């Protein structure tokens, strides 16, 4: 049994190289629940909580991208610079758990768990984010869409540490909305992130908790671009808005489970996506 609490990423990477199957823990808000309920009995643990490098963010020089450390807690994304540059991420972060959970929970942990209900993930998907991983002797970056491979499954290799995610700064409206059974502390029943890229005249819509991983609605995105000019603000006619939501619902792949039914989830993503598109064109 060993517990390693490195202070630098370099030391953490040596630790994962020495013991690729050791359990990595950041905030512990997913893992400790499993451990407390005896669903997991760790022996070797590498804790990333004291690594400052993973708890920072950088705005890349040309002001086109933000790179967010895997260990940065959600509470840092709710306000300030990240919230200004990535409002959808701030909105998603704001919906996670409670202040106690947001003080330690991280995007690295959300990616590690890779639940279809993870609130950061639709934002990463809608923004075409990149996940940056490192091993002691190598580094790679993968698209979020290649990182998420199934329900609670991702393409991280043994020994790899998720170090950060890189997200583009987009001009245009973006937002996140989620349905749950109460206001605070609730895992999503269905969620939606919508990003309008005014410069390129495109829209992207990603849905949470309605498929094995996040669902990107590429068909509806392409369809809408043929119906309205996304480079300028335009009112969306009620009929078009209706059809937009219907098409989004059509692209979702929800199931019945302990949290909700497929039918309700399909309805919810139609309503959420229409609401977000309306907001996008109101401001």
Partner 1 sequence: MKTNSEIYNLTVNGETHQVRDSWVGESLLYVLRERLGLPGSKGACEQGECGSCTVIMDGQAVCSCLVMAATAIDSDIQTIESLSPNGVLTEVQNAFITEGGVQCGFCTPGLVVAIEHLLSQNSDPSELEIKEAISGNICRCTGYGRIFEAVENAISVRKANNR
Ligand X SMILES: Cc1cc2nc3c(=O)[nH]c(=O)nc-3n(C[C@H](O)[C@H](O)[C@H](O)COP(=O)(O)OP(=O)(O)OC[C@H]3O[C@@H](n4cnc5c(N)ncnc54)[C@H](O)[C@@H]3O)c2cc1C
Q: Is 21 in the site for partner 1 (CB under 8 A)?
A: no
* 71 Cβ contact list (under 8 Å, min separation 6): 26, 27, 48, 49, 51, 54, 55, 106, 108
Measured torsion, CA atoms of residues 262, 264, 266, 268, in degrees rounded to the nearest 10 = -140
Task: Considering only residues 89 through 108, tell me which ones interact with partner 1, judged by CB under 8 A.
Answer: 97-101, 103-104
The CA-based angle 278-65-193, given to 5 degrees, is: 25
Residues 36-55 that bind partner 1 (CB under 8 A): 36-37, 40-45, 47, 49-50
**Residues 191-230 within binding reach of ligand X (CB under 6 A):** none
Judged by CB under 6 A, which stretch of 2-10, 81-89, 104-112, 223-231 contacts ligand X? Answer: 104-112
Could you say whether residue 116 binds ligand X (CB under 6 A)?
A: no
User: Closer to partner 1 at the Cβ: 42 or 158?
Assistant: 42
Backbone angles phi, psi at 73, to 5 degrees: -75, 150
Nearest to 196 by CA among 160, 242, 228, 164: 228
**Tokens representing residue 275 in the block:** 């609401």
Tell me how many residues contact partner 1 (CB under 8 A).
37
Structure tokens at 198: 């005014």
Q: How far apart are CA 22 and CA 15, in angstroms?
A: 9
- Residues numbered 155 to 194 that lie near partner 1 (CB under 8 A) are 183-185
28 binds partner 1 (CB under 8 A): yes
The DSSP code for 106 is: B
Stretch of 142-150, 154-162, 228-236, 246-254 contacting ligand X, by CB under 6 A: 154-162
Q: Which residues 6+ apart lie within 8 Å of 279 measured at CB?
A: 173, 175
Q: Which of 187, 189, 203, 214 binds ligand X (CB under 6 A)?
A: 187
Q: Which part of the chain contacts partner 1 (CB under 8 A), choosing from 5-13, 116-124, 141-149, 163-171?
A: 5-13
Binding site for partner 1 (CB under 8 A): 1-7, 11, 25, 27-29, 31-33, 35-37, 40-45, 47, 49-50, 97-101, 103-104, 183-185
């Amino acid at each position: 049994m060993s517990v390693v609490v490195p202070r630098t990423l370099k030391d953490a990477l040596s630790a994962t190289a020495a013991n690729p199957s050791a359990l990595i823990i950041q905030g512990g808000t997913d893992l400790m629940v499993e451990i407390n309920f005896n669903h997991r009995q760790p022996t070797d643990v590498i804790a990333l909580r004291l690594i400052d490098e993973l708890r920072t963010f950088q705005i890349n020089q040309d002001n086109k991208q933000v790179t967010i450390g895997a260990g940065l807690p959600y509470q840092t994304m709710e306000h300030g610079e990240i919230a200004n540059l990535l409002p959808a991420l701030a909105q998603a972060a704001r919906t996670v758990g409670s202040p106690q959970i947001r003080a330690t929970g991280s995007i690295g942990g959300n990616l590690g768990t890779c639940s279809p209900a993870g609130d950061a993930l639709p934002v990463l998907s809608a923004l075409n984010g990149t996940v940056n991983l490192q091993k002691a002797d190598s580094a790679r970056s993968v698209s979020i869409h290649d990182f998420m491979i199934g329900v609670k499954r991702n393409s991280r290799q043994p020994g790899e540490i998720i170090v950060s995610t890189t997200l583009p700064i987009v001009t245009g409206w973006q937002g996140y909305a989620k349905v749950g059974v109460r206001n605070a502390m609730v895992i999503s029943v269905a969620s939606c992130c919508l990003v309008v890229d005014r410069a390129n005249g495109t829209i992207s819509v990603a849905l949470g908790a309605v498929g094995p991983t996040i669902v990107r609605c590429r068909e509806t995105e392409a369809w809408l671009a043929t119906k309205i000019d996304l480079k300028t603000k335009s009112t969306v006619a009620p009929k078009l808005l209706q059809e937009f939501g219907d098409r989004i619902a059509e692209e979702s792949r929800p199931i019945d489970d302990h949290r909700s039914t497929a039918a309700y989830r399909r309805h919810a993503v139609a309503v959420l996506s229409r609401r977000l598109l309306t907001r996008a064109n109101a401001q």
